[in-house]
Amino acid sequence: MIRRAPVNLWIGGALVAMMTAIALLSLVWTPYDHTLLDIPAKFAAPSAEHWLGTDQLGRDVVSLLMAASVNSLTVAFVAVGLGGAIGTLLGLAASAWGGWVEAIVMRLVDLGFAFPALLFAIMLAAAFGPSLSNAILAIAFINIPVFARVARGAANQIWTRDFVLAGQAAGMGRAALTRDHILPNIAAPIIVQATIEFAVAILAEAALSYLGLGAQPPMPSWGRMLSEAQTLMYLAPELAIYPGLCIILAVLGFGLLGDGLRDVTDPRLARTRA
Amino acid sequence: MIRASGITVRFGSHAALRDVSLQLDPGQRLGIVGESGSGKSMLGLTLMGMLPSSAKLDGQLHVDGQDMSTAADRQWRSLRARRVAMVFQEPASALNPLRRVGDTVMEPLRLHLRLDRKAAQQRMLELLDETGIQEPALKARQYPHELSGGQRQRVLIALALACDPALLIADEPTTALDAHVGLRITELLVRLARDRGMALVFISHDLAAVARTVDDVAVMYGGEVVERGPVAEVLRAPQHPYTQGLLAARPPLDAGQLRRRLPVVPGNVPAMADLPLGCRFAGRCHVELPRCAATRPSETSLSPGRSAACHHLPDPSI
Amino acid sequence: MQVFLLRRSLGFLATLFAVSVIVFLVMNVLPGDPAVTILGIDSTEDARAALRAELGLDRPLWQRYGAWVWDAVRGDFGTSYFFRVPVSELIAERLPLTLPLAAFGMLATVTLGVTLGIIAAAQHGRPGDWAIMLLSQLGIAIPAFWLSILLVLLFAVKLRWLPPGGFPGWDDPVLALRSLILPTAALALVQSAVLARVTRSSALEVMRLDFVRTARATGLAPRRILGRHILPNALVPIVTIVGMQVAGVVTGTIVIENVFYLPGLGRLVFQSIANRDLFTVQALVVLFAAIVVTANFLVDIAYVLIDPRLKGRLA
């Protein structure tokens, strides 16, 4: 059977590559300094100087969007990395030791699903004041149960394989087996899940920043740009368009990439789609 | 009642049925025998107008004198259940798991026969009783998973009989069942066909089951009918090498160990794409002649109602 | 069956208990001193001591937790430090907005999601299917608050058909409903995208099953087969997703209320964060989490009611 790389993999991959390139570029170059205020030039229409015009403080919109992409991707990266690492470890432990370890982990996982990211961010904001790091913690937290579940499910399958049984027979401990055999073999589903959760995290960061629970001024963020634009809806409706498009492209990119990777790495799923 | 001639069903360039002709009269019981992949289920679906949309049908198909070979699904729908009905192989999954079986049987009664709730219920219980279900009132209230395989198959037969069809097609109705349960089901089918004057097409790979159920049999191989005739004659003196192979491979006809083992003819049914140009049995046949692979043998009449398609037929006089 | 219900109920209560512990710990212990959280770091020690005494923060932790839970069970969520009224009163005041919004949102989500999913499945591989799948892919990626802004831009700013935000109260039901149209649409459009996909794949799965063939052989019309045989079976897995979507819609109302300036519970949360009204936030977070947990519990039960096979297995 010849397996074609699915369309969503290509589109998603291209979008993600573009987003990453823009974010990296913005670290060394943006058309303007995105913090540069130019009040007289506020609400400028798109032009050769300002491709998408300027905002209410005369800042260049393209530069703002570019700088904000760094924020989005960083938050997603840190939050998914943190939550993914903890969750994967928990899932691996549950699978390796079973018994009460597994029981406790799975109970915690169930519990984790009771708290959507927003609720967690609200708690942290009320206790510590709103900040980007609290938003990251909240997004990381909701990733823990997701990854714990995926890692446990994938690891449980590997534990029944011959090479693991052989290792067990050879006297390898559960921790060593997990490190040497289980972890490398569940990398594919973990990476697929991480890609999908990346999309979720970008969406969550945007929502939290929009609500004032994430990036604080003057840090550029798509979500915050939208909340500012909303107050100027009658004056400059187009300012409410661009950041939203950026969010959609980023979320769509990672979502499609994740779906595509899953199609490629999980033949079982690919077959049911055929 | 059913006149089919030259029926060919193609999927792309592959023919799942090739030049099949069939004639069924009221009350006649016909067996279709063959290995899996021989096209016998496809033939059943053709008579129901339920071929997959990717299939292309050629040939003549008349039901009650009506030409159905180019009929739309809507037209077929008015025949299904009322003129032709079908029972499938897997009773375990052929019933809607979320519905009480009584409600399933009542559905065609209410929709097609327009019976009111009470009358439909009455008729449903009669049908369940007729198909040999003990305590029909109790069973009607149960869900499919609460019934045994044999009971489910009886429910499916009751459902198929709901609108008094003139023809019942039973596609491997005993295959998924225990041997003795299968025996009861074939007995039931024979009784129903007799009592109702209903025609029966009994599709099976189990020669023993066919022998005790039908009057006439058609043996299928590679999408073609290779031999047909009264079942006793075909079993006593098979003419086509394939039929001979089937019979030789048959498990002993001992009622105690009537196992549903697949008959074994040397070799495998070729994939549709690999079928030889000439006789489809060429390559597996033990009496192959040079012309077998090149030209297709046509059905040769041996005696009234008895024919075979083979280049190597013994003298027709026997 | 009874055993199953009892076990699920115990698990449900255990989860509620754990949720309350987590919320209590995060809001009372992690920040250190709630008095400082409420009064700010520049407050005097005297003021803090007075507040601790007033709110009973000088008692041991377990006593505070016990009192909080005991009161909450009886419907007393304490007193808002900022508004100086019982939190339960604040909630009762705003529930008539948040509850209908969530209910409408859920209703619209299920109606839209299941309908689109079934249409897509019935149209499998044809343009209708493609269009719905494309839209739903987009719907999954759209932030609800941005969709809200777009809806406001179009229907309030440009076309002036509907109010851009705010809530006039239920005195005039027509006005009230009008002001809930856009928020409901924003909630449902995004949430139904996921549901449409799940419904579609679930229906496609069911269409392959044998009993669908039986239904065809019985001469039933495609529409009836879809509605009476495929849909009910496809709904079984959909119920789980609907349970999860309650969480989405509930947190969605928090966001949407802030986009449309609707004075509901979600708005209250944010006001309370800004007002450093710690215990009001605490009560609301527990309330929201409890709704999510309860929804999932109910779905577990509903599952068994829908599928007779499960009932048999649990008997």
Dump pLDDT digits (tens) for B108-147: 999 999 999 999 999 999 999 999 999 999 999 999 999 9
With bands split at pLDDT 50, 70 and 90, how would you rate the model's confidence at B295? confident
Residue B254 confidence (pLDDT) above 50: no
- Residue A30 domain flag: no
Percent of chain C at pLDDT above 70? 98
Q: CATH 1.10.3720.10 region(s) of chain C?
A: 90-314
Q: At what angle do helices A117-128 and C231-259 cross, to 10 degrees?
A: 30
**Cβ pair C51, C82 in contact under 8 A:** no
Q: Taken in order B236, B239, B241, B243, is the CA torsion positive or negative?
A: negative
B113 touches chain C (CB under 8 A): no
**Which amino acid would we find at residue C85?**
V
Give the Cα separation of A68 and B156 in Å (integer).
Answer: 64
Residue-wise pLDDT for C176-188, tens only, equals: 999 999 999 999 9
**Cβ pair C167, C99 in contact under 8 A:** no
- Residue A35 domain flag: no
Query: Which of chain C's residues have a Cβ under 8 Å away from the Cβ of B93?
Result: 209-211
- Residue A132 domain flag: yes
Identify the CA nearest to B145 among candidates C211, C105, A226. C211
With bands split at pLDDT 50, 70 and 90, how would you rate the model's confidence at B267? low
For an interface test with C, which of B77, B96, B172, B175 has the most C Cβ atoms less than 10 Å from its Cβ?
Answer: B96
Burial of C159 per CB tally in 10 Å (0-12, 13-18, 19+) = exposed
Residue-wise pLDDT for A174-184, tens only, equals: 888 888 888 98
C240 touches chain A (CB under 8 A): no
Give the Cα separation of C123 and A225 in Å (integer).
Answer: 40
Cβ–Cβ gap C153/A233 under 8 Å = yes
- pLDDT at residue number A201: 93
**Sequence-separated (6 or more) residues with CB below 8 Å from residue C177:** none
Q: What is the DSSP string of B255-266?
A: GGG---PPP--S
Query: Which of chain A's residues have a Cβ under 8 Å away from the Cβ of C292?
Result: 114-116
Residue-wise pLDDT for C216-267, tens only, equals: 999 999 999 999 999 999 988 888 888 888 888 988 999 999 999 999 999 9
Cβ–Cβ gap C309/B145 under 8 Å = yes
| Cα three-residue angle A82-A87-A93, rounded to 5 degrees | 130
Query: Which of chain A's residues have a Cβ under 8 Å away from the Cβ of C140?
Result: 251, 255
With bands split at pLDDT 50, 70 and 90, how would you rate the model's confidence at B251? low
Residue B90 confidence (pLDDT) above 60: yes
Asked if chain C contacts chain B via 3 or more Cβ pairs within 8 Å, the reply is: yes
Query: Which of chain B's residues have a Cβ under 8 Å away from the Cβ of C312?
Result: 143, 145-146
| Segments forming the whole domain that contains residue A185 | 51-273
Query: Which of chain C's residues have a Cβ under 8 Å away from the Cβ of B94?
Result: 210-211, 213-214
B5 C-beta neighbours (distance < 10 Å), count: 14
In angstroms, the separation between the Cα of residue C230 and the nearest Cα of chain B is 9
Residue B261 confidence (pLDDT) above 50: no
In angstroms, the separation between the Cα of residue C295 and the nearest Cα of chain A is 10
3-state SS, residue C209: coil
CATH number at residue A136: 1.10.3720.10
Cβ–Cβ gap A244/C143 under 8 Å = yes
C154 touches chain A (CB under 8 A): no
Q: Nearest residue on chain A to C157, judged by CA atoms? A: A234
B111 touches chain C (CB under 8 A): yes
- Residue A19 domain flag: no
Q: Is the ipTM of this complex over 0.90?
A: no
Cβ–Cβ gap A244/C150 under 8 Å = yes
Task: Report the range of poorest mean pLDDT among B167-181, B297-311, C89-103, C114-128.
Answer: B297-311
C133 touches chain A (CB under 8 A): no
Chains that touch A (3 or more CB pairs under 8 A): C
Query: Which of chain C's residues have a Cβ under 8 Å away from the Cβ of A125?
Result: 273
Residue-wise pLDDT for C94-131, tens only, equals: 999 999 999 999 999 999 999 999 999 999 889 999 99
DSSP-assigned letter for residue C258? H
Chains that touch C (3 or more CB pairs under 8 A): A, B
For an interface test with B, which of C208, C213, C214 has the most B Cβ atoms less than 10 Å from its Cβ?
Answer: C214
- Residue A73 domain flag: yes
Asked if chain B contacts chain A via 3 or more Cβ pairs within 8 Å, the reply is: no
- pLDDT at residue number A2: 42
Per-residue pLDDT of chain A (274 residues; tens, 9 = 90+): 345 567 888 899 999 999 999 989 888 887 877 777 777 777 777 777 777 777 777 788 888 898 899 999 999 999 999 999 999 999 999 999 988 999 899 888 888 877 888 888 888 888 888 899 999 999 999 899 999 999 999 999 888 888 888 888 888 888 888 888 889 889 989 999 999 999 999 999 999 999 989 888 888 899 999 988 888 878 778 888 899 999 999 999 999 998 888 888 875 554 444 3
Which residues make beta-bridge pairs with B29?
B200
Q: Taken in order C68, C71, C73, C76, is the CA torsion positive or negative?
A: negative
Compare CB distances from B85 to C217, C222, C308 and report the shortest one's residue. Answer: C217
- pLDDT at residue number B259: 43
Q: Nearest residue on chain C to A110, judged by CA atoms? A: C15
Q: Nearest residue on chain C to A212, judged by CA atoms? A: C270
For an interface test with B, which of C202, C216, C218 has the most B Cβ atoms less than 10 Å from its Cβ?
Answer: C218
Q: Nearest residue on chain C to A119, judged by CA atoms? A: C285
With bands split at pLDDT 50, 70 and 90, how would you rate the model's confidence at B262? very low
What CATH superfamily classification does C90-314 receive? Answer: MetI-like (1.10.3720.10)
C25 touches chain A (CB under 8 A): no
Query: Which of chain A's residues have a Cβ under 8 Å away from the Cβ of C19?
Result: 111, 114-115
Cβ–Cβ gap A233/C296 under 8 Å = no
- Average pLDDT value over all residues in chain B: 86
- Average pLDDT value over all residues in chain C: 88
In angstroms, the separation between the Cα of residue A205 and the nearest Cα of chain C is 10
Residue B315 confidence (pLDDT) above 80: no
Return the residue matching tokens 């019935």.
Answer: C122
In angstroms, the separation between the Cα of residue C1 and the nearest Cα of chain B is 16
- Residue A65 domain flag: yes
- Residue A21 domain flag: no
Cβ–Cβ gap C211/B145 under 8 Å = no
Residue B2 confidence (pLDDT) above 50: yes
Q: Nearest residue on chain C to A255, judged by CA atoms? A: C141
Domain count, chain A: 1
Give the Cα separation of A115 and C207 in Å (integer).
Answer: 36
- Residue A239 domain flag: yes
Q: Which residues of B268-295 are buried (b: 16+ CB within 10 A; e: fewer)?
A: ebbebeebbebbbbbebbeebeeebeee
Q: Nearest residue on chain C to B141, judged by CA atoms? A: C308
Instruction: Starting at the earlier edge strand, list the strands of the sheet with B306-308.
Output: B84-87, B167-171, B199-204, B29-33, B216-221, B224-230, B306-308, B300-303
C125 C-beta neighbours (distance < 10 Å), count: 9
Percent of chain B at pLDDT above 90? 48
C80 touches chain A (CB under 8 A): no
B72 touches chain C (CB under 8 A): no
Higher-scoring residue by pLDDT: B241, B117: B117
Alpha helices in A61-98 (DSSP H): 61-97
Residue C314 confidence (pLDDT) above 70: no
Query: What pTM, to 2 d.p., does this model score?
Result: 0.82
In angstroms, the separation between the Cα of residue C157 and the nearest Cα of chain A is 7
Mean pLDDT, residues C280-301 taken together:
89
With bands split at pLDDT 50, 70 and 90, how would you rate the model's confidence at B256? very low
Q: Catalogue all structural domains in chain B, each as residue range(s) with its CATH number.
A: 2-241 (3.40.50.300)
Give the Cα separation of B232 and B238 in Å (integer).
Answer: 10
What count of Cα atoms within 13 Å lies in the side-chain half-sphere of residue B109? Answer: 22
Compare CB distances from C233 to B82, B98, B108 and report the shortest one's residue. Answer: B98
B103 touches chain C (CB under 8 A): no
Question: What are B134's two structure tokens?
Answer: 């003990």
